[in-house]
Structure 1
Amino acid sequence: MKPRVRSEFIKSGYVFAKSPADIAKEYGFSEVALLGSNENPYPPSEKVIRAAKEALSGVNRYPDPKAAEYHAALRANICDAPVVTSGLGMDGVIETAIRTLVAPGEKVVISTPTFSMYGLAAKAASAKVVNVPRKSDFTVDLDVFLQEAKDAKISFLCTPNNPTGTVTPIEDIEYILDRIDGVLFLDCAYVEFSDVNYLPLLSRDNLIIGRTMSKVYGLAGLRIGYAFVPEWFEGPYNVAATPFTLNRVSAAAAAEAVSDHVYKDNFIAHVRKWREEFIKEIPFPVSPSGANFVLINVAPKLGDDAMEALAKQGVLVRSCASFPGLGDTFIRVSVGDVWENERFLSAVKKL
């Protein structure tokens, strides 16, 4: 008898961007504009690379299980919160938070359309997943969201939201926190590119703020997520977490990167400049965005067709057809390097 695979893992999973190597080979480009994965197009600074190289000499030993140096750097440079936790990317923080809180059959609520990992991780934990649609302008419908979230074990809300770029006002987050019995996980992977700061809400004991080193700090390849959590949550989270979550190289690079304010500030300025340029130049409706990407409605074209047409011009973007509840006429485009942005603007005007 063959072992039976759980139904959650047979058909659908996380959808990756199309391979740039495949596009280059298929359409004859030596370089492809990589605007499909919300990455930072610039490598980290020399001092970050140097810290990572130095850490390599000690990889014969296990890393610090508490990532104390990195967490100290976060407190010194981001927020002097009493409790910081880490994960293998934001995905790792999400999975561990669900593992810590949710028993099989308990409710997890998700504001959609949004990042697919909340639902995938919740289903892996045998949770009851409830998706709550946003309004037509992609803002959170507070009353509808609260109807489901009030008695949920944990609820997920991404702001700025992926893939829409929508920023949820801090007053709306306070409104939710005042009225739910469970925990709100606020995914702030893109918050540095916006004008909103949710960190003053950390005094609430039912709020987790997840963040990442992948976007503004340019460390996507090292997979480093972190979260500010209530004190009561730290112990159980560490018990549920995979031992030695961050390796030595990742922790060393992250500790250095988080203190590199020049690199961070320069990239934020670059994103904001080109985000406005995108909104002005793209000949299709563009949703307001507080992230390092924009959502574009290419109707009457389908998102898949637009993605393919842009790929033929050496530009890799993300079709959003796989985001439940969004529709099939949207693409998501990251802000890239100058030449990538210019190639995209030229290509999108030919659609």
Structure 2
Amino acid sequence: MDRLNRTWPQTFVLTGFGAPGPVRPLAFLATLGVYVLTLASNSFIIVLVQADAGLSTPMYFFLGVLSFLEVWYVSATVPTLLLTWLRGRPPIPAAGCFLQLYAVHSLGMTECSLLAVMALDRHLAICRPLHYPALMSRKAQLGLAGAAWVAGFSAALVPAGLTAALPFCRKQVAHYFCDLAPLMRLACVDTAWHARVHGAVIGVATGCNFVLILGLYGGILRAVLKLPSAASRAKAFSTCASHVTVVALFFGSAFVVYVGLPGSQAEGTDKCIALVYTFLTPFLNPIIYTLRNKEVRAAVKRVTIRVGTALNQH
């Protein structure tokens, strides 16, 4: 505890985004509105997947798990963003700052693994349809989802732990949440070694999953091109389009921020790009996965009729 008192300031200060005073209330309301919609839409998917038997397939099970993760992921960063709009530069206790750092990275790396698991599900469904029910049993679904969470929360211990052990000479974090690069800029010592370790851990966690996704979709592409009719090829591609879009958004923005960390991005650039994977992607995921999905629309209709009938009976 004495060592922590010597190396940690009592609080860090989140500088957030520079904006004129009159703009802040509007930014707060817009951020709050998107945050509430994100929570509501992802929660709706979780409830719908549980409530409708027509969505009791592995694909929708993993979509429900992804929505559950997104509720926590967006909640790990947006409350402090809202505070920066309200209070300008809110202080955050040092312990809370490092806890937020761990939460953001553990949830982010869990999402990397979960997106790879969802690609595996699509690969098995398209490339091995006869064996798909046995390969993707309920036990396998739970095991794969659990492994994604364990992998993410385990890998995040390394960058969070190493960063928390640094001595800090300054306390103004140039971000709207506690992230690696802004915190490392505040350290009193050379962080080159830490940066290499962080890059290795995050690179393995994101890079291996990304390469796995590319390999699985390579197999899907070969299988789909062998299908006899254009209609069957279009149907197969349509089941993957939403996932590919989410993968591109999430991995693209995360690679820009974390590859070459720290100092590869101009100070302030990383927090703008971070909005994509911590805020925009959780908001867009329910829209991307459900907007053109006939099964989800049919499930909504069935659940609505069932609820309406139950209310009328009472």
User: TM-score, normalised on structure 2?
Assistant: 0.24
User: Which is helix-richer, 1 or 2?
Assistant: 2
User: Which is strand-richer, 1 or 2?
Assistant: 1
